A and B are shown apart, each in its own frame.
Chain A
Amino acid sequence: MIFADILIDGLVRSGVYAMLALGFALVFGVGRVLNLAHTAFFMVASYGIFYFVGIGTGMPLAIVLSSIGVVAVGLLLYKLFLESVREMEATVLIASLASAVLLQELMLLFFGRQYGRVPEVFSGFTRILGVRVGNQELATLALAVLCLVGMWVLLSRTRLGLAIRTSAQDPEVANLMGINVSRVVQVVVALGILLAALAGAAVAPLITVEPHLWMDRLVIVLAAVVLGGLGSLKGSILGAVILAFAEAFVVFLLPGGSYLRTAVAMAIMLGVFLARPEGLFGAGIEEES
C-alpha cells in the first residue's frame, strides 16, 4: 500500500520537477542564462491560482490568467535585469537571485504572512488497480504529462523546434542558416517561464502556497539539471524523475523525512558527481572554439 502511495507521490513530483527542470535547461541551453529566478515564477503562478480561485474564478481560467500574468512579469524582469548582462555570468546569477527575492517580497507584501491553501478542484478518489488515488493528483499529473509531451512535439517536430535545437548547439552557425537567434532566445525564455508557471498552477491545489516556495524547488532544479548533465534536456528530465522518487521514498519511509528531502537530493547529486562528473547525459554543450 505504501509503495503505491510512493509511486503516485513520486510521479506527481516527477511531473512538476520535470517541467521546472526542462524550462530551466532550455533557457540555459539556448540563452546561456543560468536563471536563479526560474522557480520564483513557479511560486508566483501558484499565488496566481490562489488569488484567482479565491475570487471565484474557475480553475481552467485561473490557470490561463495566472500563466499569462507570470509570463508577462517574467519577460519584463528578463528584459529589465537579465538581457543586458546576459554575457556576464556572475552578474546574471546575482541579478536573477535578486529578481527571485523581489518576487518573494512582493508576494509577502500583497498576500501577507498567511499561508494559502487552494481548494481542490477535483475532490475524491479514483480506484486504480485497487489503489485509491486522489483525483487532484491525477489532474496535476495529467497536466504535467500534457505539457511535457507538448514540449517534446514542439522541439522535435516543428520549425521553431529546429531553430531552438540548432541555436542551442551552435548559435553562430544557426545564424548562418538564416535563423534569428536573438529572437529564438526570447521565445525560449518565454517558453521556460510558461513551463514554470504551468508547473506552479498544476501543483497549487496540492501544496501550501507561500513566498519561500521557490527556494527548495530551486535547489532541486539545479540538482536535477547537473545530475542529468548540464545542457542535456533529456538528462534534466531524468534527473528530475530520479530526485522526485528519492524525495518520495524519503518522505514516506524515513521519520522526519520531509525535513531531509532536500539533503537527500543533494547527496544523490554529489554521489553522481563522484562517479561521473559530467552528469548522466553529460555529452556537454558543443565547445564553440
Chain B
Amino acid sequence: MAEGLRVQGLSVSYGPALIVHEVDLEVGAGATVSVVGPNGAGKTTVLRALSGLVLWEKSSSRQAGVQLVGEVWFGQERVDHLPAHQIASRGLILCPERRRPFREMTVEENLQAGAYLVRSRKVAQQRMAEVCRLFPVLRERGRQRAGTLSGGEQQMLAIGRALMGGPKLLMIDEPSTGLAPLVKQPLFARIREIKTLGIGILLVEQDAELALSMADSGYVLSQGRVVAQGSPAELLADEVVRRSYLGL
C-alpha cells in the first residue's frame, strides 16, 4: 500500500537564486520523515518540486527562469517529469503551506474536491468517514464555509482534504505555522495517528523538536542544502545541529 520515495540531486533555482541545492532524500515505504531547518532553508521548495508545482510554475511562464534538475522516484516510477495532477494520482499528495482551503466552498465540498480522483462513491464515503473520525470537527462544520474556520480547523481540513485522495505518501508543509501550542499538540497527535494507518509521511516543519519527536528519521536543511541527517535522537543530541540550525 505505502510507497517509498527517493530523491537524488534535486536542485531548484529561480533565475539567479539557487533555492535548493543537490538534495538527496529518502522516505521508506510507510515511514515518517521530518525535514527541519530555519526559515528560508528551501524546505517548502523541496515539497513544491516533489509535488509538481515547480514544474507547473515553469510551464505556465508565471515565473521566469525556473530551473529544476534531479531525479525523483516514487515506488518503481520516476515522477519528476510528471505534471502535478498526475503526481497526485500516483498517491504522492501534498498538503500545502498556509493550508489553502477553498475558502468560498463548504468544508464538505473541500473534502469532496480532495476526493476528485476517487471514482467510486463508496470509497469516497469510507474516506470521508475516516477523515471525520480523525477530525470530528470537520463533520460538525460540514456546511460551513471553509474561510470561516479557525486556523487550527483549517489545518485539519487541509490534511483531511489531502487524505481524501488516498495518499500512499502524504507530504505536509508547515502544519504548525501560526497555531497556538494548545492547538498544535492535538494536531500532531492526529498526524501520529495517520502514521498508524500505514500512510508514509514527509513532514516539513519549523518546530524541529515536535517534528523530530514523531519521525523515524530526519533531515536538517539550511540554505538549500542537507547539512545533517540521521535518526531523530542523533540529530537532537548533536550540539552543533541544535545550536546552528535548529535554534534549540
Q: Mark A residues whose CB is within 8 Å of B.
A: 86-87, 159, 162-163, 165-166, 169-170, 172-182, 283, 286
B165 touches A175 (CB 8 A): no
Partner of B51, one of A162, A169, A176, A180: A176
Chain B 87-132 interface residues, beta-carbon cutoff 8 Å to A: 88-89, 93-94, 96, 100, 102-105, 109, 112-114, 116-117
What separation, in Å, do the CA atoms of A38 and B88 have in the docked complex? 34
Q: Which 4 A-B pairs have the closest CB atoms?
A: A175-B84, A178-B88, A178-B117, A180-B85
Residues of B within 8 A of A175 (CB): 52-53, 56, 83-85, 88
Question: Closest residue to B88 on the A side, CB-wise?
Answer: A178
Taking the closest CB of chain A, its distance from the CB of B66, in whole angstroms, is 13
Could you jot down 9 A-B contacts, CB within 8 Å?
A: A87-B62, A162-B116, A166-B102, A169-B105, A176-B51, A176-B53, A176-B93, A178-B89, A181-B85
Taking the closest CB of chain A, its distance from the CB of B21, in whole angstroms, is 24
Report the interface size for chain B: residues with CB under 8 A from the other chain.
Answer: 30
A172 touches B85 (CB 8 A): no
Q: Mark B residues whose CB is within 8 Å of A.
A: 51-53, 56, 60-62, 83-86, 88-89, 93-94, 96, 100, 102-105, 109, 112-114, 116-117, 161-162, 165
A178 touches B85 (CB 8 A): yes
Known contacts A166-B102, A173-B96, A179-B113, then 7 further A-B pairs from the complex at CB < 8 Å, ordered by chain A residue = A162-B112, A172-B56, A174-B113, A176-B51, A177-B85, A177-B113, A178-B89
Residues of A within 8 A of B84 (CB): 172, 175-176
Taking the closest CB of chain B, its distance from the CB of A228, in whole angstroms, is 15
A170 touches B100 (CB 8 A): yes
A286 touches B103 (CB 8 A): yes
B103 touches A177 (CB 8 A): no
What separation, in Å, do the CA atoms of A159 and B96 have in the docked complex? 23
Residues of B within 8 A of A169 (CB): 102-105
What separation, in Å, do the CA atoms of A177 and B86 have in the docked complex? 9
Residues of A within 8 A of B105 (CB): 165-166, 169
Most buried by A among B51, B61, B85, B86: B85
